[in-house]
């Protein structure tokens, strides 16, 4: 099949929920990928922050292949050593107490919502506060948690019990905490919302306020987690101790996994039968995730992410067409002085560089293992495309 045939097949047989770019990747190595005709791309998307160790990492591949050849799945009525080992390693890296495993970010947030409702149930506190411009997933409950009306349209009614506050406005949050609220859920860097980091003062004040009002502080680390911001979890940059953390994207290194992690005070909050997932904690996925956690949690690896992020930031900011750079670590948003971010994305793909957008910004989420040479090559293409946009 050639590309045109694949495109026709997609048009005919797949629901058009994605605005796709004309690229079909068939092979990859770290931050490089190739399409069917052998054209090479620098990939600064890592599949939206999923391929934390890049494409075809040899140790990740070996862990996954070995486990697939031993036992590929078992139901959660039995114990799985890969599953329990990952839970311990992940909780230790995250500073949390227990994990519930599922298959995606939205499901991890669904679990956090159930944890929060359960926590508030006795005193009839059922509402959850999230922030305007947040993104928490596509299920009807996580859509309700998502503070962007555009995502809600056409799908009403959503799950009840979500209230929204303005990021940075601590008194606005305080007004909402009237005894009906069991939890506050935040992204420390709003990803889909335009790569917007929350201010440290706001996050620390929020943490103190939640403690004072006996409201859970839950952090959605689906995009920011697993080393993406240069800390194992982004909340660790803020010096706070959340009650629950949700994680997915980068955790599996390319295979589907999500987790809701809870702190010591929520130990065993959910009882047998109150939450479950057929695939959750699958041993093949867990074997790969263990390799991701082992590598990414090493202080030298995280230091490397911070250094690469700083290098990209500096290079991007030095480009005359760039108005501003924001984000943290290897999660960067670039605002251009002129030109449409999506047009730039399409032109970059034509020239062999894959990037993302977030609102009106260009977004970079390269694999955490990207090399200096790969960064330089991709930046070169980006610079060239921006130069042409200006003409």
Closest separation between CB of residue 61 and ligand PLP, Å?
Answer: 22
Name the residue number minimizing CB distance to ligand PLP: 105
Closest separation between CB of residue 384 and ligand PLP, Å?
Answer: 29
Q: CA triplet 353, 356, 359: central angle to 5 degrees?
A: 145
Closest separation between CB of residue 258 and ligand PLP, Å?
Answer: 6
The H or E element that residue 390 is part of is: helix 372-390
Cis peptide preceding 157, ω within 30 of 0: yes
Interacting residues with ligand PLP (CB under 6 A): 104-106, 109, 135-137, 187, 191-192, 220, 222-223, 248-249
Q: Is 208 left (phi over 0), alpha (psi -120 to 50) or beta?
A: alpha
Strands (E), 135-255: 162-165, 181-186, 189-190, 196-197, 216-220, 244-247
Closest separation between CB of residue 172 and ligand PLP, Å?
Answer: 21
| Selection from 3, 82, 77, 87 nearest residue 39 by Cα | 3
The H or E element that residue 26 is part of is: strand 25-29
Output 245 or 386, the one with its CB closest to ligand PLP.
Answer: 245
Tokens of 319: 């480009």
User: Helices 372-390 and 299-317, interaxial angle, to 10°?
Assistant: 20
Tokens of 179: 């005894």
Closest separation between CB of residue 282 and ligand PLP, Å?
Answer: 15
Output 109 or 207, the one with its CB closest to ligand PLP.
Answer: 109
Output 232 or 386, the one with its CB closest to ligand PLP.
Answer: 232
Output 255 or 370, the one with its CB closest to ligand PLP.
Answer: 255
Residues 353, 358: Cα–Cα separation, whole Å? 17
Output 55 or 135, the one with its CB closest to ligand PLP.
Answer: 135
Closest separation between CB of residue 334 and ligand PLP, Å?
Answer: 18
Q: Assess contact for 72 and 279: CB atoms under 8 A.
A: no
Output 187 or 291, the one with its CB closest to ligand PLP.
Answer: 187
93 to 104, 148, 169, 218, 295: CA distances (angstroms): 20, 32, 31, 17, 11
Output 220 or 291, the one with its CB closest to ligand PLP.
Answer: 220
Closest separation between CB of residue 346 and ligand PLP, Å?
Answer: 22
């Amino acid at each position: 099949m050639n590309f045109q045939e694949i495109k026709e097949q997609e048009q005919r047989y797949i629901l058009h929920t994605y605005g796709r770019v004309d690229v079909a990747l068939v092979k990859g190595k770290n931050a490089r990928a190739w399409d069917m005709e052998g054209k090479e791309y620098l990939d600064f998307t890592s599949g939206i922050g999923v391929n934390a160790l890049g494409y075809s990492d040899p140790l990740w591949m070996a862990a996954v292949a070995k486990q697939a050849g031993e036992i590929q799945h078992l139901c959660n009525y039995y114990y799985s050593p890969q599953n329990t080992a990952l839970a311990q390693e992940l909780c230790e890296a995250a500073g949390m107490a227990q994990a519930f495993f599922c298959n995606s970010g939205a499901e991890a947030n669904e679990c956090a919502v159930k944890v929060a409702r359960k926590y508030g149930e006795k005193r009839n506190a059922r509402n959850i506060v999230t922030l305007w411009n947040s993104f928490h997933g596509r299920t009807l409950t996580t859509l309700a948690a998502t503070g962007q009306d555009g995502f809600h349209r056409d799908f009403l009614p959503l799950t009840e019990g979500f209230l929204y506050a303005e990021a940075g406005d601590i008194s606005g949050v305080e007004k909402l905490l009237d005894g009906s609220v069991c939890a506050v859920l935040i992204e420390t860097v709003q990803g889909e919302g335009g790569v917007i980091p929350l201010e440290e003062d706001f996050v620390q004040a929020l943490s103190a306020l939640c403690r004072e009002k006996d409201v859970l502080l839950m952090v959605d680390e689906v995009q920011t987690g697993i080393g993406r911001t240069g800390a194992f979890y982004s909340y660790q940059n803020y010096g706070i101790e959340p009650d629950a953390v949700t994680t997915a994207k980068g955790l599996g290194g390319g295979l589907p996994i999500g987790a809701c992690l809870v702190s010591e005070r929520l130990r065993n909050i959910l009882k047998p039968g109150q939450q479950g997932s057929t695939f959750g904690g699958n041993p093949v996925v867990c074997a790969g995730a263990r390799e991701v956690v082992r590598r990414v949690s090493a202080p030298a690896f995280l230091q490397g992410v911070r250094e690469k992020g700083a290098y990209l930031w500096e290079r991007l900011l030095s480009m005359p067409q760039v108005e501003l750079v924001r984000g943290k670590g290897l999660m960067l948003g670039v605002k251009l002085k002129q030109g449409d971010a999506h047009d730039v994305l399409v032109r970059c793909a034509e020239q062999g560089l894959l990037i993302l957008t977030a609102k009106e910004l260009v977004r970079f989420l390269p694999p955490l293992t990207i090399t200096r040479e790969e960064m330089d090559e991709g930046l070169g293409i980006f610079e060239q495309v921006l130069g042409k946009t200006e003409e």
